[in-house]
Amino acid sequence: EGHTKTVVLKHGIKLPFINNYETPETLGVDRIAAVAGAMSLYPDQACLIIDVGTCITYDFVDSSGVYHGGGISPGLEMRLKAMHKFTSKLPLVMPGGKAELIGRTTRTCMLSGAMIGAEAEVQGIIDRYTQYFPQLSIIFCGGGAQFFESKIKGHIFAVPNLVLIGLDQILTMNVND
């Protein structure tokens, strides 16, 4: 009576997918939860999960429920902060507003490079994945996902609470063990 069971999301916990990552102990729990959420919402579908936050992460799970890995690149704010930190004269600029392709000030040039560059990166990654997996479901999540929603070509799903859905799925699988 009064006992509480704690479930900790860490390497070795039961997951709703097969983890084929070569170093599973280094895989971030946010990425694990996002993949679990994708598997819950899009079972039996190959999915590319794009989480836009501090970093932009790409996670691929095939239609058999096997997670293979993906990629990590700097997020929008990190790109802008790096330009400021690692140069002597570029100002600190925060993402926001609409970036123009051709910047006409240092600030708008930096926004163009960071924001339009990230947009081109994400579209390019999606294009490469869909060459190999034409039936791929593209799922965006994370705080910066809305930035890409209207900019990316093709059919995408924006699921802001994907990580929470995945955490619930993992908890449900492990609570009775």
What 3-state class would DSSP assign to 139? strand
30, 51, 59, 127: the active-site residue: 30
Of 172, 110, 120, the residue nearest 148 (C-alpha): 120
Cα–Cα distance for residue pair 120/171, rounded to 1 Å: 36
* Residues 80 and 94: beta-carbon distance below 8 Å: yes
CA distances, 173 to each of 43, 52, 54, 170 (Å): 15, 27, 29, 5
Which SS3 state, helix, strand or coil, does residue 9 take? coil
Examine the residue annotation and report whether 30 is marked as an active-site residue of this protein: yes
Give the Cβ contact number of residue 38 at 10 Å.
Answer: 30
Query: Checking DSSP bridges between strand 66-74 and strand 18-19, what pairing results, if any?
Result: parallel
Tokens 């100002």 sit on residue: 91
Q: Which residues are catalytic?
A: 30
